[in-house]
Amino acid sequence: MNKLILVKYASEIFLKGLNRNKFEKKLRDNIKKKLKGINYELISDQGRYFIKADDIEEATERVRKVFGVAEVCIVTEVPRDMQAIKEEALKKVKDANPKNFKIETNRANKVFPKNSLETSKEVGAYVVYHMDGLEVKVKNPECLVNIEIRENAYIYTTKDKIKGAGGLPYGINGSTMLMLSGGIDSPVAGYLMARRGVELHCVYYHSHPYTSERAKDKVKDLAKILSTYTEKVKLHIVPFTEIQMAIINGCREDELTIIMRRFMMRVACGLAEKYGIQSVATGESIGQVASQTMEGLMVSNDCADRPVFRPLIAMDKTDIMDIARGIGTYETSILPYEDCCTIFVPKHPKTKPRVESIRESESVLNIDELVNKAIEETEVVIFQ
């Protein structure tokens, strides 16, 4: 008897029609990358993967986190033989010791003489016969025993199932430049984009000496955490002080934030252009702070030359915090180091800026020169 990992992938992948092969290949490649260093064998079998591994727990933990994986189950492999299936099913129900149970069979291999329903009934009867007081319950059984009949038979119960990361295979849906600050929101935004298969690149605007090295290190730590879900992540660290000083010296106080955000957008798009990245993403959520109004978002979008994604736009802060805790970025995000926005905050920021008047206000600045210089002086750190 052998323990294996059964990998079920996102049902969305089955709906891809002609693209399905491409999705499956990407997912398989991503799983293989995650299993580096472990001794394993991966077998594709009609919309599922089976993985044999020396260290099955470690392998399960790694595969579970791969985007596109809906569920992983630790299954017991037995010969494709009714008696062997019955005995293993009984053993599993005995282990779980439930009040009620149900058997569900999926016969992918039609060579097996009994169909799915007949198999479930026969195995169920065998289990009931051998366990006093155990009942069959069709809806919401305490213990669901799954039997998959393929080359061999594979058996697992409710407690052998672990929820996967969901989403789509990383790298299948283009790329984005995430504006990554040290806050709670932007790492979550990056995670959600990556989970939909979008390749992640990060940019951080650093205002030395107004923001400390520790603030920068915090962003690096966040990029590193994100990279455990993706592949290597490049963090572009942009020297932002000169731009901020130019804004403070040249523009109205109540427009500082919005003009600064326009520069962030220009630099993100400029870097994206330079490295062939297709879009920009931020951790903004509508109404969360003064700059995240409908008007504020329109005015910063005015400087973008590619799609700007805001995956948190309609989420409540409490829900964003829950995700941050789940993905392990929260504890780092709440460390108290200031970011560049907090020291340049105007007392009464404009919440309903108009594009024309902001364009007018910033026209005193040497915009292209400032942006180009910041891009040139950007430093890149890679996390693996």
Numbered residues of the known binding site for ATP: 179-180, 204-205, 261, 283, 292
Candidate residues 324, 341, 370, 371; the one interacting with ligand ATP per rule CB under 6 A: 341
Q: CA 339, CA 206: separation in Å to the nearest integer? A: 8
Shortest distance, CB of residue 344 to Mg ion, whole angstroms? 12
Phi-psi category of residue 380: left, alpha or beta, with phi > 0 → left and psi -120 to 50 → alpha? beta
Q: Is 183 near ligand ATP (CB under 6 A)? A: yes
Which residue, 105 or 211, is less far from Mg ion as judged by CB? 211
Shortest distance, CB of residue 79 to Mg ion, whole angstroms? 58
The item of Mg ion, ligand ATP, none sharing an interface with residue 367, based on CB under 5 to 8 Å by kind, is: none
Return phi, psi of residue 239, to 5°: -70, 115
Q: CA 282, CA 190: separation in Å to the nearest integer? A: 8
Strand 40-44 and strand 48-53: the pairing is: antiparallel
Which residue, 9 or 204, is less far from ligand ATP as judged by CB? 204
Candidate residues 291, 293, 332, 361; the one interacting with ligand ATP per rule CB under 6 A: 291
Q: Is 293 near ligand ATP (CB under 6 A)? A: no
For the chain, give me the number of helices (H) and strands (E)?
15, 15
Which residue, 230 or 291, is less far from ligand ATP as judged by CB? 291
Phi-psi category of residue 37: left, alpha or beta, with phi > 0 → left and psi -120 to 50 → alpha? left
Burial of 313 (0-12, 13-18, 19+ CB in 10 A): middle
Candidate residues 339, 353, 361, 378; the one interacting with ligand ATP per rule CB under 6 A: 339
Q: Which two tokens stand for residue 266?
A: 């220009």
Range 166-195, binding Mg ion (CB under 5 A): 181, 183
Of all residues in this chain, which one has the CB nearest to ligand ATP in the complex? 183
The item of Mg ion, ligand ATP, none sharing an interface with residue 184, based on CB under 5 to 8 Å by kind, is: ligand ATP
Residue range at the interface with ligand ATP (CB under 6 A); choices 89-97, 99-107, 179-187, 374-382: 179-187
Cβ atoms of 204 and 233 within 8 Å: the answer is no
Candidate residues 109, 116, 288, 301; the one interacting with ligand ATP per rule CB under 6 A: 288
Which residue, 183 or 187, is less far from Mg ion as judged by CB? 183
Candidate residues 105, 119, 282, 361; the one interacting with ligand ATP per rule CB under 6 A: 282
Q: Is 180 near ligand ATP (CB under 6 A)? A: yes
Q: CA 131, CA 109: separation in Å to the nearest integer? A: 29
DSSP result, 305-329: SS-EE-TTTT--HHHHHHHHHHHT-
Q: CA 133, CA 358: separation in Å to the nearest integer? A: 76
The item of Mg ion, ligand ATP, none sharing an interface with residue 179, based on CB under 5 to 8 Å by kind, is: ligand ATP
Bond from prior residue into 336 cis (ω within 30 degrees of 0): no
Q: CA 340, CA 205: separation in Å to the nearest integer? A: 7
Q: Is 23 near ligand ATP (CB under 6 A)? A: no
Q: CA 305, CA 268: separation in Å to the nearest integer? A: 10
CA neighbor of 160 nearest in space, from 104, 246, 257, 92? 92
Candidate residues 76, 120, 152, 186; the one interacting with ligand ATP per rule CB under 6 A: 186
Q: Is 270 near ligand ATP (CB under 6 A)? A: no
Which residue, 171 or 283, is less far from ligand ATP as judged by CB? 283
Burial of 34 (0-12, 13-18, 19+ CB in 10 A): buried
Which residue, 170 or 263, is less far from ligand ATP as judged by CB? 263
Cβ atoms of 147 and 47 within 8 Å: the answer is no
Which residue, 120 or 181, is less far from ligand ATP as judged by CB? 181
Shortest distance, CB of residue 273 to Mg ion, whole angstroms? 25
Range 365-384, binding Mg ion (CB under 5 A): none
Q: Is 221 near ligand ATP (CB under 6 A)? A: no
Shortest distance, CB of residue 323 to Mg ion, whole angstroms? 16
Q: Which residues bind Mg ion (CB under 5 A)?
A: 181, 183
Q: Which residues bind ligand ATP (CB under 6 A)?
A: 179-181, 183-186, 203-205, 282-284, 288-289, 291, 339-341
